[in-house]
Amino acid sequence: MKRREFLRSAAAGAAALGLESCAHVRHGVKGPPARRPNVVYVFADQWRAQATGFAGDPNVRTQNLDRLAGEALNLHNAVSGWPVCSPYRGSLITGQYPHTNGVFLNDVCLGNDSVSIAEAFGGAGYQTAYIGKWHLDGHGRSNYIPPERRHGFDFWRVLECTHDYNNSLYYGDADVKLKWDGYDVFAQTREAQQYIRKHAAAGPFALFLSWGPPHNPYETAPEEFRAMYDPAKLALRPNVPKQAEESSRKDLAGYYAHCTALDQCVGELRKTLEETGIVNDTVFVFTSDHGDMLGSQGEIRKQRPWDESIRVPFLIHYPEGLGTQARSDELIINSPDIMPTLLGLCGIDVPHTVEGTDFSAVLRGTSTKRPEGALLACYHPFGEWTRPKGGREYRGVRTERYTYVRALDGPWLLYDNETDPYQLRNRCGDADVASVQKHLEALLSRTLRDVNDAFLPGDAYVRRWNYTTDKNGTVPYAP
């Protein structure tokens, strides 16, 4: 079925069934909701899984997220398989791997060949909204994005990309630049609250709120939050080497300030859901597009295959569908799995163009079918992880216990994350774990076959998609 045919079919089905009915979902999910729930999907930029109170970070103050974790489903093994901004977002919007949709670099344009998450929700009768950072248009970071390139989102308060959080612009319906008031996270959250209040009684909606922080620049959070963190008093992770301690503490102080500001916004959003009476029948998700090394392993930022880069927080609160008892789940959910799982939780057919897996039955406890691991990838190193800085193509798997990574020239990393949670000892090639490495290599090879990934040199993908890159492997972009 072609993309256009799917959209016509979905719209006709929604009209025929009415909003109170639910379609059957892939993977045989039993007991779909009596009424399709709302969705509020909130994601930060570069917030690593380790940086919350509920995850055990001794420094950061995240009282609202800690409270949410006490009431929600915590997918503590969630990963961002290609931990970079645009590739994650391409997978979120399409449910596809980057080598399929072509978004394996930042600042390229996501095509219209597949059914988007907004189109799938819209075809089921949902109102759809996107607020904040987009980074999927590839026509300049501050240019207007016309409706035909918004991938089905109705309500639109968006800028392609900015990290100037206190002087942040955006577009609404027209080609007119508007400006968020003050620290953009606060203004974007108020916009989301207003949207929720307006649509709470009008039927199901799917709202995506994309914040720019805690992505660097770290020092730009509001002063009241920066004052909470003294770099000299911060406890560092054991995998931060001596030479990186000073810069790591400085960066972490600002990073945590952003995190606490965002945490306050999570509390405000949840209060709005409670006040409008829809908190129980809303799928509320808090997560991030990827993590941040922040000095661990002597590295900064993302793209790397270590846990601080690939692992992200992932909390789901949906009382009517998943119950009210807080619990952690070992499920290893990857970026392409988010779209089908959200659709599954809402009783909506998963489009044929999706490559990820619908885990809604697993979350409901009606299926025990779980993946052994999630695919990790760097298709083409660029930007802050160039080849002179150690950047390289890789493919790997993250299982509940192990991380195994292969580069183009052979096996590269193997960590036992149970006995070595800070990934301080690379066991790759060790004779005493040879059987483990063999098993993980077989798992990786099988996973690559399953997703049709030939693991080619990065330049082959650049040529296939006809991209132009500079000496750093980056696609040049207009500000």
Residue 374 dihedral angles phi and psi, to the nearest 5°: -110, 145
Give yes or no for a cis peptide into 32 (omega within 30° of 0): no
Q: Is 346 a catalytic residue?
A: no
Q: Are 345 and 86 in contact (CB under 8 A)?
A: no
Q: Is 161 a catalytic residue?
A: no
Residue among 135, 151, 199, 258 flagged as catalytic: 135
Q: How many CB atoms lie within 10 A of CB 236?
A: 16
Q: Pull the structure tokens for residue 283.
A: 């799928």
* Bridge partner residues of 403 (DSSP): 398, 415
Residue among 22, 76, 85, 215 flagged as catalytic: 85
Residue with tokens 């596809």: 96
Query: Which of the residues are catalytic?
Result: 85, 135
